[in-house]
Homo-oligomer: A and B are copies of this chain.
Amino acid sequence: MKLSISQIKYVKSLHARKSRQKYHNFVVEGEKMCGEVLRQGDLEIELIATTQEWADANRSLLKVHERRLHIVSTKELKRVSLLATPNQVLLVACQPEHQFPGHIRDLTLYLDGLQDPGNLGTILRVADWFGIEWVFYSPDTVEVFNPKVVQASMGAFLRVKCMAAEFGDLKEAFPGIPIYGAVLDGDNVFKMFLPPAAILVIGNESRGISPMLQQQLTHRAAIPRHAIGGAESLNAAVAAGILCATFRNYRVSGL
């Protein structure tokens, strides 16, 4: 079955946040990530557009999705794609719905106003690598289902639970949980006590953690700078990576 004109219009509309929010779904592109989504099987699939070639090579994955399958030419695929380089498959999936957790017993991230989709995707990948179950983010953070975030996350959105949340609601739900914030003028994170269960706050790329949220931190963690001068900060995703690695290896390293 080919894609109808209205379907093409529909898929293209999902490149915009407004449309994704209206339909509560999002676009996944590329052989690797689409294959992963289909293999994992957790997401509800609405539509798959693929070349005959990819469909032939992945029959077992596509079997249960026959009614949602559309065979298209590379040219047609390009019309609905956001990627610059040609690809073989694109799918529309429903956004996963997670229930707000009853407790936090592990390292949990809170992203405060992150704006760069690449950074958000890379942080989800960090969370995925370090087995972090929950990533919360402030309502003004770039949307998790933005195609650039999905792409940069390398499929992490399949395993890490992401949820928009006001920080106040988190604090109320988990009273007494230690709240660590990544700040430039904090204590050396390599010399700090790091508990297994905590919320780690990563701030906006240029402004850092908002003043309101800074007041909520119970610990201010800094990655010590070893330069004589110049460097003003680390990239937000790199900082998140270093801090998560330090939390995760706190016990191992016997600090």
Contact = CB atoms under 8 A, between A and B. Distances in A.
Interface stretch (A63-71, A118-126, A173-181, A209-217): A118-126
A238 B254 CA distance: 23
A168 interface: no
Contact of A190 (B154, B159, B249): B249
A103 interface: no
Contact of A125 (B126, B228, B234): B234
B234 A126 contact: yes
Interface residues of A, number: 44
Nearest to A245: B242
A235 interface: yes
A191 interface: yes
Contacts of A156: 230-231
A239 B159 CA distance: 20
Contact of A227 (B131, B188, B235): B131
Interface of A: 118, 122, 125-126, 128-131, 152, 154-156, 158-159, 188, 190-191, 223-235, 237-242, 245-246, 248-249, 252-255
